[in-house]
Copies of this chain bind each other. A is one copy, B any other.
Amino acid sequence: MAALLRPVGAASVILDDALGRVAAIDIVARLNAPPFPVAAMDGYALRWSDAGAPLPCTGAIKAGDTVGARLSPGTCLRIFTGAPIPSGADTVVIQELTEQVDGRIVLLPGAEPYRHIRTAGSNFETGQSIVRAGRRLNARDIGLLASSGHLHARVYSRPRVAVLSMGDELSDSLSPGGGAQIIDANRPTLKALVRAWGGIPIDLGIVRDDPDTLARILSTVDVDLLVTSGGASVGDFDFMGQTLAGLGFKAAFHKVQMRPAKATLFGTLGSLPILGLPGNACAATIAALIFLKPAIALLGGAGRQDAVREWAVLGSAIAAVGPRTTFLRGRLDREAGGCLSFTALPSQDNAMLSGLAGADAVVVRPPSAPAARTGDSVEIVRFDTVAGF
């Protein structure tokens, strides 16, 4: 997938629209911060070589005052956090380490030379890298961009991701006739995930199990990625794979060694990348986490952004798994002072969408992993670290 998916474009946006967007260039500071030396604490600005004697305080400087105040020899100035250091001063002594004696300022034991001055550029300097290309901008980045002189940011464009569900049995709403219709949960889920992961979802609806209809849609769709679900293993027949093959689809992979979601495929039809997910809602959602999230991140310039694996200890034993990488849904508990504990849900039935909605994480078991006992360390993906999931 990383070899086939490239960022789709870039544009400048105002900072109000930059949250969650991905920087398209390395962004550097346009100024020094602070722009001039400033006080790091409230106190008195003075020349340390004058500090042996009581010093008259001849004025005050606060944040926002213009640069240019001068400190006369043998005096001090009251100064507040963020205020420009007056020329001639080399030290700020915090007010707690001073006292007034006969209207003059006397330093107390503990006062130290050359302290509490932030030099120009000590936070960042003009030209210094502030945000690297490929970083997804959070609110802290946006504050840093503003403070370094930026009103706009150049970001990658959001990829347009079309979502389509395959299957004669699917419907978007309750079927009044009471036939064998099943409500399509995949498009609502996948559209929400496309949005949460930085793409623009485009809904192509439900497509019946008819090769001509599918071919007509594929020949007209103009998007950066098409995500389908279903049609991959209706019984013995791989409808999606066979129809795509007939149209000239080049598969990068077709079937993967994971459980659930073995029936996942990816490749290109002409210039259109297609990700085919299983029809089962739990399998499609887990496969989206593993394949769709990196695909959107690659198209959106953020790199692969694989689901981050962390460690937890098992709250209860899990059985050995088969020859495929296996994802088990479960709940997390926090143990005081320690690690997270993971307890697999009693049912891993892929039809249990309610179980998936109630889960906090999946454990990821490598192929043919043996049974594991309570207290063993296992790899998990935490849903609360995945946007929108």
Query: Assuming the A-B contacts A31-B174, A185-B146, A281-B143, are A123 and B353 also in contact, with contact meaning beta carbons closer than 8 angstroms in the complex?
Result: yes
Query: Assuming the A-B contacts A310-B334, A353-B123, A354-B130, are A147 and B67 also in contact, with contact meaning beta carbons closer than 8 angstroms in the complex?
Result: no
The reply to whether B60 and A147 contact each other, CB–CB distance below 8 Å, is no
Closest-CB distance, A240 to chain B (whole angstroms): 14
**Within 8 Å of chain B (Cβ to Cβ): is A141?**
yes
Pairs A–B under 8 Å by Cβ, sample size 17: A15-B188, A19-B196, A40-B349, A62-B234, A118-B351, A123-B354, A139-B189, A139-B193, A139-B389, A140-B285, A140-B389, A143-B281, A144-B185, A144-B354, A146-B183, A147-B183, A310-B340
The reply to whether B151 and A173 contact each other, CB–CB distance below 8 Å, is yes
The reply to whether B235 and A60 contact each other, CB–CB distance below 8 Å, is yes
The reply to whether B183 and A234 contact each other, CB–CB distance below 8 Å, is no
A residues in contact (CB < 8 Å) with B: 15-16, 18-20, 30-31, 33-36, 38, 40, 42, 60, 62-67, 78, 80-84, 118, 122-124, 130-131, 138-149, 151, 167-170, 172-174, 178-193, 195-196, 201, 203, 234-236, 280-281, 285, 310-311, 334-340, 349, 351-354, 356-357, 377, 382-385, 387-389
The reply to whether B356 and A338 contact each other, CB–CB distance below 8 Å, is no
Q: Which residues of B contact A195 (CB under 8 A)?
A: 19
A sample of 19 more A-B contacts (CB under 8 A), given A16-B192, A146-B189, is: A16-B201, A19-B388, A62-B235, A64-B170, A78-B235, A80-B234, A83-B180, A139-B192, A140-B357, A140-B389, A142-B189, A143-B189, A143-B281, A143-B353, A147-B183, A151-B172, A311-B336, A311-B339, A338-B339
The reply to whether B388 and A385 contact each other, CB–CB distance below 8 Å, is no
The reply to whether A63 and B167 contact each other, CB–CB distance below 8 Å, is yes
The reply to whether A118 and B349 contact each other, CB–CB distance below 8 Å, is yes
Q: Which residues of B contact A20 (CB under 8 A)?
A: 196, 388
The reply to whether B16 and A191 contact each other, CB–CB distance below 8 Å, is yes
Closest-CB distance, A146 to chain B (whole angstroms): 4
